[in-house]
């Protein structure tokens, strides 16, 4: 089992308060955190940081979360297996299926209970870990 | 009977007289002018002549005059327009004609005059001397023609007037049509505007709820960061205050959700994903989620559920939402040490439904509010005036959700004694989804095949959401293989980590084989199964109707297939 401390999570979120809070929470649970606040830098950051998991907001300046997923999946084959968890305030009725079809591992609606967020992260990481073997 | 000569230039005028007199049994002869009439008199020897006065090609008075000259004593009656009556009478006198009928005349008057003229002893009076007559005639003629002109002018004016009125009428009619059309368009616009407004309201609420959720999420996150001691240790009071913050943030979250749900209900867009569910399990889950709050308020939550309740056909999340709402209300309106009881049993009045009730011993609801509590934004007047009352959307959403399941929701309540909310959910019936594929009227009863698809994950366990997503993917894949009118997907099941999907198909062994092969082909290409290392199996089985199946009526045939299927599914699931 890979230790949590070695796992890096890229948080893509344009609300800096939300980003700040999410960073504190994830670091407290031992994850390494990288951040991006708009779609374009998020795509570059994903390639540069090679995160183990991406937390993605849907509404972003410079293009939305769907664009980020599409570009990351298309441009960087090495990131193909990196799970993406969408964390959005948007309506799940209109967005959950679309997000899953675009390649998201999970759709979580804000506000997300901490327990739910951490469980989803652990689950996604364990899946990709199984896969790497 | 007599022979009567009718002289008139207008056939319609002649026919009035010929019809009337012919009916009396007289022989009738017609002429259209004076000259023709003279000929007829000579050949037909009529007993009576009835003539118009003004005619082209020989006037009536000329005719009368000629007859006298020829010493023919046949009686003559002038038949003349009423407005010329005075002149006609002078003329008649001058020509030795004793009778004048005014057009139009009553049939009875005509008959009386004719009968009199035909009576023996009737004689024409002697005409005036010719010199006297010519003066009179000249005078009369002039007056006659002026009258005719006047008449024609009048007639023209009348025609103009009629045309004018017709025009006016048409204009009015067109205006009316136009107004009707405008009103119709206005109505259409109203409906469109209303729809547009509802849509805009929906979009607005969706936007607002999104915008409210983001800051709420931040409040939640930092509150929990403090509570969890991530920013340093906190003392007892700080913990208490933060917990209050958290509780209120949670309430806010639910209100935002309700706002969005209510706007969806308004445009009938609440999403419901029905499957066969165990109602007792759903009740247990809903009660578990509220146990903490109930315990805090010292309220005991109890369940009284009939054994062996059948599965209901409903969306588990939605039923849970309704139950949570009712339980939440029941707890809110109960005094400490009271109990809230959830019951579930077969609905006696309609055994195709399960009746679920949530009873409290709270303050109760006045009789006149029993219906209105389910109205949008309705607020029950409570003893807790001034305290927070919520949005008044919860029961409205419950009502809409239950209606979407084909059930009903109502309340029985007595002020001071407590309220019991009831709702019904339809029992899951295999028959309801099987009968559409069993075509009625077929010569031979159709044979039905049951195709079972079983998935089993080799290693990893899945979260509820992943399982849901996986199940959804497989359902889509299966639906892709199916023929809409022949095959139907039965509610999937998940037991002990194994997912089972069933398709009932109107097919024989060969058809079922083709379908199974198509499904295997699709599953073998399914990335989701490969990635998660999920094994699958596809088996087919023919559901034979009872031996006497061929002679059974369609209804009975469906019943027998359904009962067979039920048995097969039970053994399969067991």
From chain B, pick out residues whose CB is under 8 angstroms from the CB of A130: 459-460, 533
Question: What distance in Å separates the CA atoms of residue B489 and residue B391, rounded to the nearest whole number?
Answer: 40
**Subunit contact A18:B463, Cβ cutoff 8 A:** no
Q: Do A91 and B209 touch (CB under 8 A)?
A: yes
> What's the rounded mean pLDDT across residues A15-29?
92
Tokens of B50: 């009835």
Q: What per-residue confidence (pLDDT) applies to A121?
A: 93
B279: distance to nearest CA of chain A, Å? 24
Q: Do B230 and A17 touch (CB under 8 A)?
A: no
Q: Is pLDDT of B465 > 60?
A: yes
- Chain B residues whose CB is inside 8 A of the A28 CB are 225, 228, 230
Please state, in angstroms and rounded to a whole number, the distance separating the CA atoms of residues B459 and B178.
74
Centroid of chain to Cα B484: 28
Separation between Cα atoms, residue B400 and residue B409, nearest integer Å: 9
Confidence of residue B547 (pLDDT cuts 50, 70, 90): low
The reply to whether residue A25 touches residue B225, judged by beta carbons under 8 angstroms, is yes
d(Cα B24, Cα B14) in Å, to the nearest integer?
15
Residue A1 pLDDT class (50, 70, 90 cuts) = very low
Closest CA to B427 of B568, B261, B278: B278
Say what the pLDDT of residue B82 is.
62
- pLDDT tier, B318 (very low <50, low <70, confident <90, very high otherwise): confident
Of B214, B463, B531, the CB nearest to A15: B214
Nearest-by-CA chain A residue for B273: A93
Pairwise CB contact (< 8 Å): B210 & A90: yes
| Whether the predicted pLDDT of B32 surpasses 50 | yes
Per-residue pLDDT averaged across B502-519, rounded?
86
On the question of pLDDT at B523 being above 80, the answer is yes
H or E element at residue B286: helix B279-296
Q: Which residues of B touch A106 (CB under 8 A)?
A: 463, 465-466
Does the distance separating the beta carbons of A100 and B214 come in below 8 Å? no
The model's confidence at residue B400, banded by pLDDT at 50, 70 and 90, is confident
Nearest chain B residue (CA) to A28: B230
User: What stretch of H or E contains A73?
Assistant: helix A65-75
**Cα–chain-centroid distance for residue B128?**
85
- Closest by CA position to B566, among listed B444, B406, B450: B450
Pick from A111, A123, A130: CB nearest B216:
A111
B6-10, B84-88, B238-242: the lowest-pLDDT one:
B84-88
Q: Compute, in degrees rounded to 10, the torsion defined by CA atoms B429, B433, B436, B441.
A: -40
Q: What is the pLDDT of residue A33?
A: 94
Confidence of residue B297 (pLDDT cuts 50, 70, 90): confident
Give the mean model confidence (pLDDT) for residues A69-79. Answer: 87
Per-residue model confidence as pLDDT tens digits over B243-262: 888 888 888 888 888 787 77
> Which of B192, B363, B327, B199 shows the shortest CA–CA distance to B266?
B199
Task: Say whether B230 and A93 touch across the interface (CB within 8 A).
Answer: no
* CA pair distance B178, B395, nearest whole angstrom: 46
Percent of chain B with pLDDT over 70: 88
For chain A, first and last CA: distance in Å? Answer: 11
Amino acid B499: pLDDT:
83
Q: With CA atoms as reference, report the closest residue to B252 among B211, B286, B291.
A: B211
Q: Report whether A38 contacts A62 (CB < 8 A).
A: yes
In this structure, of B310-314, B437-441, B507-511, B540-544, the range with the lowest mean pLDDT score is: B437-441
Beta-strand ranges (E) seen in chain A are 8-12, 32-36, 53-56, 84-88, 106-109
Closest CB to B214: pick one of A24, A25, A89: A89
* pTM metric for this prediction: 0.53
Q: What is the pLDDT of residues B412-463, one digit of tens each?
A: 888 888 889 999 999 888 877 777 677 665 555 567 888 999 888 776 667 7
Confidence of residue A57 (pLDDT cuts 50, 70, 90): very high
pLDDT band at B194 (very low <50, low <70, confident <90, very high): confident
- Dump the DSSP string for B371-390: TGGGSTT-----SSTTS---
Q: Return the structure tokens found at B44.
A: 């037909």
pLDDT band at B366 (very low <50, low <70, confident <90, very high): confident
Cβ–Cβ of B214/A22 closer than 8 Å? no
| Nearest-angstrom CA–CA distance, B152 and B154 | 5
What average pLDDT does this structure show over B328-350?
89
**Helix %, strand %, coil % for chain A, to 5?**
55, 15, 30
Burial category of B552 from C-beta neighbours within 10 Å (exposed 0-12, middle 13-18, buried 19 and up): middle
Locate the chain A residue with the closest alpha carbon to B459. Answer: A130
Q: What's the pLDDT score for residue B390?
A: 67
Of B211, B220, B225, the CB nearest to A24: B225
User: How does the average pLDDT of chain B come out, rounded?
Assistant: 82
pLDDT for B56 beyond 90: no
- B218-246 pLDDT, tens digit per residue, is 999 999 999 999 999 999 999 988 988 88
Contacts of A91 in chain B (CB under 8 A): 206, 209-210, 260
Residue B147, pLDDT above cutoff 90:
no
pLDDT > 90: what percent of chain B? 13
Q: Find chain B residues with C-beta within 8 A of A18's C-beta.
A: 214, 217-218, 221
d(CA B100, CA B113): 9
Over its C-alpha atoms, chain A yields an Rg (Å, rounded) of 13
- Name the most confidently modeled range: B107-121, B196-210, B440-454, B533-547: B107-121
Better-scored residue on pLDDT, B234 or B571: B234
Is residue A56 within 8 A of residue A98, CB to CB? The reply is: no
- How many alpha carbons fall within 13 Å on the CB side of residue B171? 6
Mean pLDDT of B483-496: 77
d(CA B41, CA B48): 9
- Rounded to a whole number of angstroms, the CA Rg of chain B reads 50
Chain A neighbors of B230, CB-CB under 8 A: 24-25, 28
- CB distance B214–A110 less than 8 Å? yes
- Would you state the pLDDT for residue B63? 84
Taking contacts as CB-CB distances below 8 angstroms, the residues of chain A near B216 are: 110-111
Residue B385 confidence class, pLDDT cut points 50, 70, 90: very low
Residue-wise DSSP of B296-339: HTT-EEEEEE-TTPPPEEE-HHHHHHHHHHHHHHHHHTPPTT-E
- Cβ-Cβ contacts under 8 Å, A100 against chain B: 469
| Numbered residues of chain B with Cβ closer than 8 Å to any chain A Cβ | 206, 209-211, 213-218, 220-222, 224-225, 228, 230-231, 249, 253, 260, 264, 271, 459-460, 463, 465-466, 469, 531-533
Closest-CA residue in chain B for A81?
Answer: B531
Instruction: Tell me which chain A residues have a C-beta less than 8 angstroms from the C-beta of B533.
Output: 130
**Which token pair is B331?**
């707890």
Q: Chains A and B: how many Cβ contacts under 8 Å?
A: 68
């Amino acid at each position: 089992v890979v230790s949590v401390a070695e796992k890096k999570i890229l948080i893509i979120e344009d609300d800096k308060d939300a980003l700040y809070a999410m960073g504190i929470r994830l670091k407290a649970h031992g994850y390494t955190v990288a951040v991006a606040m708009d779609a374009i830098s998020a795509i570059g950051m994903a390639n540069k940081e090679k995160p183990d998991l991406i937390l993605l907001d849907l509404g972003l300046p410079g293009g939305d979360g769907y664009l980020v997923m599409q570009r990351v999946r298309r441009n960087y084959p090495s990131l193909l297996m990196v799970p993406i968890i969408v964390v959005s305030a948007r309506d799940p009725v209109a967005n959950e299926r679309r997000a899953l079809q675009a390649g998201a591992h999970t759709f979580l609606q804000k506000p997300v209970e901490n327990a739910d967020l951490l469980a989803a992260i652990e689950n996604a990481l364990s899946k990709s870990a199984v896969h790497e073997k | 009977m007599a022979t009567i000569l009718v002289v008139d230039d207008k056939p319609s005028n002649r026919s009035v007289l010929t019809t009337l007199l012919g009916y009396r049994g007289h022989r009738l002869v017609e002429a259209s002018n004076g000259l023709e009439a003279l000929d007829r008199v000579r050949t037909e020897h009529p007993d009576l002549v009835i003539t118009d006065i003004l005619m082209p090609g020989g006037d009536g008075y000329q005719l009368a005059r000629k007859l006298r000259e020829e010493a023919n004593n046949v009686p003559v009656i002038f038949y003349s327009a009423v407005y010329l009556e005075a002149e006609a009478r002078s003329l008649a006198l001058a020509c030795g004609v004793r009778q004048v009928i005014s057009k139009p005349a009553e049939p009875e008057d005509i008959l009386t005059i004719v009968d009199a003229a035909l009576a023996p002893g009737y004689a024409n009076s002697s005409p005036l001397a010719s010199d006297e007559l010519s003066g009179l005639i000249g005078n009369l003629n002039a007056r006659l023609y002026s009258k005719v002109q006047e008449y024609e002018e009048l007639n023209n004016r009348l025609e103009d007037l009629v045309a004018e009125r017709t025009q006016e009428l048409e204009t009015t009619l067109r205006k009316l049509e136009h107004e009707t059309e405008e009103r119709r368009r206005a109505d259409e616009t109203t409906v469109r505007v209303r729809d547009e407004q509802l849509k805009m309201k929906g979009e607005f609420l969706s936007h607002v709820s999104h915008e409210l959720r983001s800051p709420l999420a931040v409040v939640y996150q930092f509150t929990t960061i403090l509570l969890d001691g991530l920013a340093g240790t906190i003392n007892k009071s700080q913990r208490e205050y933060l917990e209050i913050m958290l509780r209120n943030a949670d309430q806010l979250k639910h209100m935002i959700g309700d706002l969005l749900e209510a706007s969806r209900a308004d445009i009938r867009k609440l999403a419901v994903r029905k499957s066969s569910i165990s109602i007792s399990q759903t009740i247990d889950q809903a009660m578990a989620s509220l146990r903490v709050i109930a315990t805090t308020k010292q309220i005991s939550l109890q369940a009284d559920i009939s054994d062996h309740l059948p599965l209901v056909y409903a969306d588990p999340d939605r039923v849970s939402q309704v139950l949570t709402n009712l339980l939440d209300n029941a707890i809110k309106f109960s005094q400490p040490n009271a109990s809230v009881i959830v019951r579930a049993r077969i609905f006696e009045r309609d055994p195709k439904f399960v009746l679920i009730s949530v009873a409290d011993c709270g303050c109760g609801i006045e009789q006149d509010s029993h219906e209105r509590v389910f109205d949008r934004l309705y607020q029950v007047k409570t003893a807790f005036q001034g305290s927070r009352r919520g949005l008044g959307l919860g029961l409205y959403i419950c009502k809409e959700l239950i209606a979407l399941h084909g059930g009903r929701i109502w309340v029985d309540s007595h002020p001071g004694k407590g309220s019991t909310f009831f709702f019904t959910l339809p029992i899951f019936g295999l028959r309801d989804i099987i009968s559409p594929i069993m075509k009625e009227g077929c010569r031979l009863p159709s044979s039905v095949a049951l195709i079972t698809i079983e998935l089993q994950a080799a290693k990893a366990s899945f979260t509820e959401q992943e399982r849901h997503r996986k199940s959804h993917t497989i359902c889509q894949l299966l639906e892709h293989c199916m023929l809409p009118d022949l095959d139907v997907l039965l509610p999937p099941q998940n037991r002990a980590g194994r997912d089972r999907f069933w398709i009932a198909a109107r097919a024989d062994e060969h058809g079922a084989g083709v379908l199974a092969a198509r499904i295997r082909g699709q599953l073998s290409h399914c990335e989701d199964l490969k990635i998660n290392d999920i094994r699958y199996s596809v088996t087919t089985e023919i559901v034979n109707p009872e031996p006497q199946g061929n002679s059974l009526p369609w209804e009975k045939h469906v019943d027998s297939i359904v009962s067979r299927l039920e048995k097969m599914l039970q053994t399969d699931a067991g």
